[in-house]
Amino acid sequence: MRDTALLIPVFVLAGWTGLVLLYVAFSRVRGGVSPREYTLGESPQVPARALLANRNYMNLLELPLLFYVVCLLAWVTPPVPTAAPPLAWAYVGLRLLHSLIHLSYNRVMHRFLVFGLSNVTLLALWVVVGRAVLAG
């Protein structure tokens, strides 16, 4: 039986992404603008809160794709490196923190620091998994 410890952070980040998507929908409906304003994407009439929520959702579909790939790669080529689950949890925690900063007080330097740390963590996860896979 395979170790599923690496899959739990994957499910957590996927679930968080789903929650942010629901928040996007909620922000758009509460924004009170006509659905036509979203025909070609965003328009000047779209409320800032809806734009921000949508941007955060898009962020969760960009670099996290590499997170999903590396976790799946580690899981299908056992054994999962010992350092992989803690790195995966660190990445997920940093991405959640990034979203919370982005969707609340949105101080750019705080967001940038957390974003940078999450990218370094993701790179470390790729190095750990890559070495394990290539070592056979």
Residue 20 located in a structural domain:
yes
- Which structural domain, as residue segments, surrounds residue 61? 7-135
Residue 45: what pLDDT? 84
Q: How far is CA 130 from the centre of its chain?
A: 21
Can you give the CATH number for the domain in which 19 is found?
1.20.120.550
Give per-residue pLDDT as tens, 92-116: 999 999 999 999 999 999 999 999 9
Residue 122 located in a structural domain:
yes
Residue 128 located in a structural domain:
yes
Shortest CA distance to 36 belongs to which of 48, 22, 46? 46
Residue 120 located in a structural domain:
yes
Residue 1 located in a structural domain:
no
Give per-residue pLDDT as tens, 12-54: 999 999 999 999 999 988 988 888 877 777 778 888 899 999 9
* CA–CA gap between residue 132 and residue 14 (Å, rounded): 25
For residue 1, pLDDT beyond 60: no
Residue 114 located in a structural domain:
yes
Give per-residue pLDDT as tens, 50-77: 999 999 999 999 999 999 999 999 999 9
Residue 21: phi and psi, rounded to 5, are: -60, -40
Residue 2 located in a structural domain:
no
Overall number of domains in the chain:
1
Residue 76 located in a structural domain:
yes
* CA–CA gap between residue 17 and residue 32 (Å, rounded): 24
